[in-house]
């Protein structure tokens, strides 16, 4: 398993390094959301396009392919 950040940095997933990374970013555990998606040609092209125009490549490139989950309701 790997962790891919919004700026397209891919690192192997290890619990210690993941917690350390989140601590450096000052992210609270309840702000984390896991999503499992399949990346096909359409999604890959959307990520590529977003990576050329934004620093939030995954968020912007995959926004149209993910279902929005409402919190606190």
CA distance linking residue 68 with residue 44, whole number of Å? 20
pTM of the model: 0.58
Tens-digit pLDDT profile for residues 14-65? 777 777 878 888 888 788 777 777 888 998 898 899 889 888 888 888 888 7
| pLDDT at residue 5, rounded to an integer | 79
Tens-digit pLDDT profile for residues 13-28? 777 777 787 888 888 8
Judge whether 72 lies within some domain: no
Judge whether 29 lies within some domain: yes
What's the total number of domains in the chain?
Answer: 1
Judge whether 42 lies within some domain: yes
Judge whether 73 lies within some domain: no
Q: Is 53 left (phi over 0), alpha (psi -120 to 50) or beta?
A: alpha
């Amino acid at each position: 398993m790997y962790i891919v950040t919004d700026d397209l940095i891919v690192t192997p997933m290890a619990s210690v390094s993941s917690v350390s990374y989140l601590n450096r970013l000052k992210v609270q555990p309840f702000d984390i959301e896991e999503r499992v998606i399949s990346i096909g040609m359409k999604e890959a092209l959307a990520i590529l396009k977003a990576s050329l125009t934004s620093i939030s490549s995954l968020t912007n490139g995959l926004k149209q392919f993910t279902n929005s989950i409402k919190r606190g309701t």
